[in-house]
Structure formats: C-alpha cells, structure tokens
Structure 1
Amino acid sequence: MRPLSGPGELDLFTRLSYVLDHELADDFAAGRRRPEWTWVALRGDRLVARLSWWSPPGTDAPFVLDLLDVDDTLPEAVDVGVHLLRTATAAVVPDGATPPEYYRFVPGDWHEDRAAGDVVRTRVAVVERLGARLIAERLRFEWRPDAPLPAASGRLAFREPKDTEELLSLMTSVMEGTLDAHGQADVARLGPRKAAELHFEEEIAHYPSPREWWRVATLPDGTPVGFVFPARNQYNAMIGYIGVVPAHRGRGHIDDLLAEGTRVLAEQGVPRIRAATDLDNVPMAAAFTRAGYVNFERVVNLTWEPAGAV
C-alpha cells in the first residue's frame, strides 16, 4: 500500500474504474488532487484497491473522499478496502481530526439492480467498518438547453444580495426547518447561524463564478422571501444553494427562485445545469421536476462524527 509517485502512474490507478476517472488528469493539473492523497493497494503487480481524496485548489487538506474502489472479484474485498483506507487515512488525516466525508455517485436503480447494488454496498461497508454512517442519499438533477426555460409567475422581484451579512441572515433563517440532512446535522451541532456560516465558508465562498449571479427574491414591498445561488464549480454550472425563508414557505416561491437561477445560468450558454437534493426532500425534488430538470443519478454520503478517528 502506497501513495502514487505522481500523475504518471494514472495508468496503474485506472486499472480499476469509476465514473470520475476522466477527470483525474485535470484534477492533478489543477491541484484538486495530489499524489500523496491518492493511494493504491497492490498484490504483486495487481491493483486490488485504490482511493483518492479531493479538495478545492489552494487548500492544504483533503476535503472529501470521493473515490474508493476495490477488486470486486476478491472474496476479501471489504477487508482489503478497510486495510487501505485505514493505512492511507493514518498517513493523510492529522491525528484527532475528523476524516473527510465519503460520497459515491450511484445509478438511480442501484436498490433494484443487484449487481450495481453489490458494488455500492461493498464500498459502503468499507467506510462503515471504520466508523462512518450514512447521512443522506441524494438525487442528482440536470437541466439542458433543449428543455424550455421554467416559467416565472412574476410575483417576485430579484436583485443581487446587498452584502455577505444579508446572505448569512437569510441562510440562517432557511436552516431552520431544513429538510437537508447535512443542514439538520450542522444545526443540531452548531445552531442555525454557525451552520450557515460553515456552509458559506466551506463551499459557497469557493465557487469560482461571479457573485453577481446570485439573487435574493423579494415581494413587491421589498421583503426578502428567499435566495438562489446560480454558480459554477470546477466542472459544471449548477444551482449551488436555494431556499425560501420559513415565513414564506408553501406558496410556490421555490418555483420562481429556481426559474430565476436557471435563467441566469442559461444566459451564460452553459451546456448543462446540475443540481441535487436529498431523497427525503420531496418538495425540492418535485420543484426540480416541474422546472424541467431530469434525475439522472444518485449519490450516497457517509460521514464520521466530528473528531472521530478511523
């Protein structure tokens, strides 16, 4: 078991396969992955397991474990994966630090397709053996330009946020009663304001796209009812975050917010717009469907408790 010596060993690393393989070379070039965060387990010349952490460029620590594979022909595949993950984590994650979250993109029918389900369950078993727990299964959506733009009702006005404090205030309000499992966990641990600050600082503030795309929705009298953050990450245009404040929920405003966010991105000529929501967030999933977004994939998220150790 060892880290890669460099991107030149990608041919070795990709002897096992996953949907992110086509991004690896660019990720290394951009600093989103590093050889010391990318490990292999070898039995002779045979690759029997591999993993890689990812992080935004310019950061010093891995942010997420998004690639973990084992040779599924091995009867001891889970044990091999556990051994590699434990060894690599000890070398990469500082003592006492919470290991980065694990997520894996999975087919939408993985619960029904036995072969696809076995692949997912094997990887999940590896991280569960080391103390992680499933926090959410999420639906991934996509809008393409050949679909009509979602219609807006005209009930709301849209403007750019006044400042970061206005955004954090609105995000704090949206955190109350959120159906997002990550948000619920952060609120329970930190409270709504700190949870909003954490989400902003760890994710939203790192979007490379212009903040001028972001929108606050208001009633005709200027009262804010919600917000939408159209954005780009390193790979796609996306609806980065969207929410309606509690006092104005249940009135269909989410449809207007999503229509505005989609319009902003469509005007940039993007080839697709990605979005995601928890499987349990039925209202948000329904809003994406009404807006012409198609559910093309799922993702399973597992996390360790804060300050947990592998």
Structure 2
Amino acid sequence: MNPALLTVRPLTGRDELDLFLGLSYALDAELAADLDEGRRRPDRMWVAHDGDRLLARLAWWNRLGADRPLLLDVLDVDDTLPAADRLDVGEHLLRTAMSTVLDPAAPVPEYTRFVPPGWRDVPAVRRAVEDRMAIAERTGARLFVERLRLDRSPGLPVPPPTGRLVFRTPRDERELTGLMARVLEGTLDAHSLHDLTTMSAQEAAEAQYADELARYRSPRDWWRVAELPDGGPVGFVVPAHNGYNPVIAYLAVVPEHRGKGYVDEILAEGTRVLTAQDVPRIRASTDLGNVPMAAAFARAGYVDFEREINMTWS
C-alpha cells in the first residue's frame, strides 16, 4: 500500500465524528462531549482513508480555553492491515498532521495511550500497543514513562482519622506551592524529575500549580495540608474533579517525614473528602516505578485498572 495515495485530512466538522469512530479506542465515548465543550477541535482530529474505508486516525486534546494542543491521545490504525502497511500508514498520517497542526517553535505534545494492566501478556493487545509506539518512534518519539491508573469503588470503608495528624485547607497558593517545591526533593515522579532538569523546585511547583491545579473547577476547600498536632507540615493532598472524574490529583509527604506511615493517613483524608461528595468512583495515577506511592494506593483500596503509556519528542 502506498500511503501517499490515501486521503489524509482533518475532519471538516463535528458531523464527521461517525467517520472518526470507524476505528475504536477507550476514549471514544468522550469525543462528542469534548468537541462540544472545546477540549477537541475538528481540525485537530485527522483521518487517513481509502474511499469509504478508514485506515488510521489521530486526535489531540487541549485544556479548556487553551490555544495549543496538550496531548496526542488518540492514534489508531486498522489492525487488519499487514504489519508494514500499519506502520507506514500510521507514520504518514502522523507526520502529515504534525506538520500542519503543530507550531514548529513549540514543544511537541506528549503522546499518551491507555492500555490494559497486563497488555504485554496478550499477543494481540501487545502488538496493537507496540504498533502505535513504533509509529510515534518513527517520527522521533521515545518512551518516557508508564503509569498506573487507579480506581477506588464506592462503598469501600475509609479508615477514620488516627489523631496523629490534623488537617486544614491551605492558607493560600504560596503555602501550597512552597510545599510542592519541598516534596520534589527525592521525588520518584518522571515528569517532576524532567522539570527539575530545566528549572528550580519552586519554579517547577509554580508551573504545575498554574498548569494543572489552578485549572480545576472543583472547590479548593477540598484541598488539605497535613500537620502534626503540635504544628509543622507533614504533607498535603489535593482531591479534585478533573472534568471527567473525581481524582486524587496530588499527594505527597515532605522528605523529613517519609517512611513513617503518614502517606496512608493523608491519602485517607483525601479519600474521605471525595467520598463525602457521594462520587461514583475515585481515580488516581502514579508512575509504575513509584513503588512506595503505588503501595499506598493499593493499601487504601485503589485498584490498578489500566496503564498509561507516555511518549515524548523532547
């Protein structure tokens, strides 16, 4: 198959969503609402087709009100194509769309894909995931990190406070970003480690606050700072709603108090805050390599229901 002979183009409008849904992925149910709410745009949703047959598709996602895409989070090919054609068609689509949609002076958005926890153990699933990774690699991407996506079902008991810690809302943005900077010492988070190669801990904290935490529309009085009863911060937790799910958006313990079991109590407080809202579930995520944090979530009843593959062009 000669990819150059295919029709490669963006969607002309929302009315072509059915064409885009000719291939399938976990995010399909969110696409219509994302288009309606402005998290996606038709000109950032591309297809490669041969007549009426859809052979590949991709889409970028952006935060509400953002001018630039933040993530490439849909990249699919027709898995019935021969192996070489799958990669060639996918690469041609991705290169063509990137050259049109992305600002060459700006960083290339990450590619992220949700996959089953045991994706390496099922040959057909592994092939599909590795095909998409190979397509991105052909355009210069590399694997950055694999993350656990976690889910806590409603109805599970939440441990009551032990009294070892007291909780309150942050006094202001400055206090929280100061704590966020402190917990970057010894961090195991891949994105935070990357940030620290180009900026100070305080700069990284302020950037994350502005880019993520400040954008949540859920109440900020859900957020909690954990302290010892006689004073002094131990850590913090940021329960929130990210527009799709209630989440534990950020959880950390300051370096001098790690290894004392406080993480369990801080996570329990964040879980209590969201449980009090009568939510259908609570989601969280952490790097596969962040073993202590993953273990804390497991102890609190959060189940690894999915993985997230992150690839980067930087």
State the TM bucket, normalised to the shorter chain.
over 0.9
Query: Which residue of the partner structure matches residue 31 of structure 1?
Result: 38
d(CA) in 1 for partners of 2:185, 2:313: 23
Query: Which residue of the partner structure matches residue 252 of structure 1?
Result: 261
SS at match of 2:198: helix
SS at match of 2:196: helix
Query: Which residue of the partner structure matches residue 58 of structure 1?
Result: 65
Q: Does 1:238 align with 2:259?
A: no
Query: Which residue of the partner structure matches residue 222 of structure 1?
Result: 231
For structure 1, list consecutive stretches of 5 or more residues without a partner in the other structure: 306-310
SS at match of 2:183: helix
1:278 Cα offset (Å): 0.6
Query: Which residue of the partner structure matches residue 13 of structure 1?
Result: 20
d(CA) in 1 for partners of 2:111, 2:301: 29
Q: Give the letter aligned to residue 157 of structure 2.
A: P
Q: How much identity, in percent, do the aligned residues show? A: 59
Q: Which of these residues, 60, 69, 75, is aligned with residue 76 of structure 2?
A: 69
Any idea what the Cα deviations from partners look like across 1:195-226, whole Å, max 9, x if unmatched? 11221111111111111110000011220111
Q: Please show how residues 1-310 of structure 1 align to structure 2 within 5 Å.
A: 1-75=8-82, 76-305=85-314
d(CA) in 2 for partners of 1:103, 1:154: 40
d(CA) in 2 for partners of 1:239, 1:245: 17
Q: Give the letter aligned to residue 221 of structure 2.
A: E
Please say which of residues 75-84 and 227-236 is displaced more in the overlay.
Answer: 75-84
SS at match of 1:222: coil
d(CA) in 2 for partners of 1:196, 1:304: 23
Given that residues 213 and 230 in structure 1 are in contact (C-alpha distance below 8 angstroms), is that contact kept between their aligned partners in structure 2?
Answer: yes
Query: Which residue of the partner structure matches residue 5 of structure 2?
Result: none
Q: Give the letter aligned to residue 234 of structure 1.
A: G
Q: Give the letter aligned to residue 40 of structure 2.
A: R
d(CA) in 2 for partners of 1:199, 1:111: 32
d(CA) in 2 for partners of 1:98, 1:10: 28
If the length of structure 1 is used for normalisation, what is the TM-score?
0.96
Q: Give the letter aligned to residue 259 of structure 2.
A: G
Any idea what the Cα deviations from partners look like across 1:244-282, whole Å, max 9, x if unmatched? 011111111110110000000000010000001111111
Query: Which residue of the partner structure matches residue 4 of structure 2?
Result: none
Cα RMSD (Å): 1.0
SS at match of 1:175: coil
> After TM superposition, which residue ranges in structure 1, 4 or more long, deviate above 6 angstroms?
none
Q: Give the letter aligned to residue 145 of structure 1.
A: P
1:68 Cα offset (Å): 0.7
